[in-house]
Amino acid sequence: MEYRILGTSGLKVSVLSLGTMTFGEQNTQAEAEAQLDLALEQGVNLIDTAEMYPVPPRAETQGASERFIGAWLKRRGRDQVVLATKVAGPARGLRWLRGGPRLSAAHIRQALEDSLRRLNTDYVDLYQLHWPDRYVPMFGESLYEESRDRETVSIHEQLETLAALVHEGKIRQLGLSNETPWGVCRFVRLAEEHGLPRVASVQNAYHLLNRSIETGGLAEVAHREQVPVLAYSPLAFGWLSGKYHDAPDAPGRVNLFRDFARRYHKPCVHPATEEYVRLARDAGLEPARMAIAFAASRPFVASVIVGATSIGQLSSNLAAARLKLPADLLHAIDDVHLRYPNPAP
């Protein structure tokens, strides 16, 4: 397993990390712990979760993913992992979570304390803002509409709250998620101006069906500001594994949670996927491994977050850590991208 330094933080993270959004919805406690054991044995040290997980978020299951990890940590030991979790903001409209989550001081502090309790730890290595408090287009939206702007908790206030929690030893490093290039730059600038903690990473979707990080400016920001990407959804909800290409009604999140996966039902998703699956199979590769290895090959990516609902899937996905794609295959991937640019942003 390759390890990379997370920006300027000094944290060393595995190039593949384990996502846990299925824990408590599609995976039981025993299945979750088996996945965690396997990931650790394969060299994964970064475990990523969130207060709202599992997905899709529901009041009845909220926090289950963290509780499953917390039970595992009591058995395996806290010092073996880089533990990352997230605080939810208002974008998902989760009225049952803290009466409607915001990124104010009171909300951030309560969310962190609750996460620490569920995780059976007194600190997290990377605490991420799950999405901005302000309005930005996301979850498949592509156009910014300034008329949708709303009253927001200032980024400066958010940083001051997080700085206090760093000072108290409850957070080691700060991270962003589902953030824009403007947002990342604003966080970096305010930290520099006011002597506040610097963000170490930004966790955004990145995969063969959504390479907008490269074209929308975030790749340059990641490089110049030293805020690398934690790439989530490298298989595009399973599309890039090829299973929906082979069997459109196959069980999986695309079909189980159609409302949550709307971006993956857009018109060009299917033909683009067909091309990527064909490329992988012509090269003698599992499509999922090719997709994960592609994301890991990008210079702006620090770690690729992989998830699974079975040990077999996870084992196969983790094998991508040893795969280096040849130049001719990378060129062929770019050719498909030119024909079908970002069909599932």
Asked if residues 45 and 81 have their Cβ atoms less than 8 Å apart, the reply is yes
pLDDT in tens, 287-306: 999 999 999 999 999 999 99
Report the distance separating Cα 274 and Cα 55, nearest Å: 27
* pLDDT score at 96: 95
In this prediction the pTM is: 0.97
The domain ranges of the chain are 3-239+300-324
Q: Which residues, 6+ apart, have CB-to-CB distance to 250 below 8 Å?
A: 238, 243, 244
Secondary structure E strands in the chain = 3-5, 12-14, 16-19, 46-48, 82-87, 124-129, 171-177, 199-205, 229-232, 301-306
263 pLDDT more than 90: no
Torsion of CA 328, 330, 332, 336, to 10 degrees: 180
260 pLDDT more than 70: no
Helix (H, G, I), strand (E, B) or coil at 316: helix
203 pLDDT more than 70: yes
Residues catalogued as catalytic: 53
Place of tokens 């409850």: 170
* pLDDT score at 198: 98
User: Which among 84, 3, 75, 83 is positioned nearest to 37, based on CA atoms?
Assistant: 75
Lowest mean pLDDT among 121-135, 145-159, 195-209, 261-275: 261-275
pLDDT in tens, 70-98: 999 999 989 999 999 999 999 888 999 99
Residue type at position 330: L
Chosen CATH of 3-239+300-324 out of 3.30.450.20, 1.10.1740.10, 3.30.930.10, 3.20.20.100: 3.20.20.100
Percent of the chain with pLDDT over 70: 99
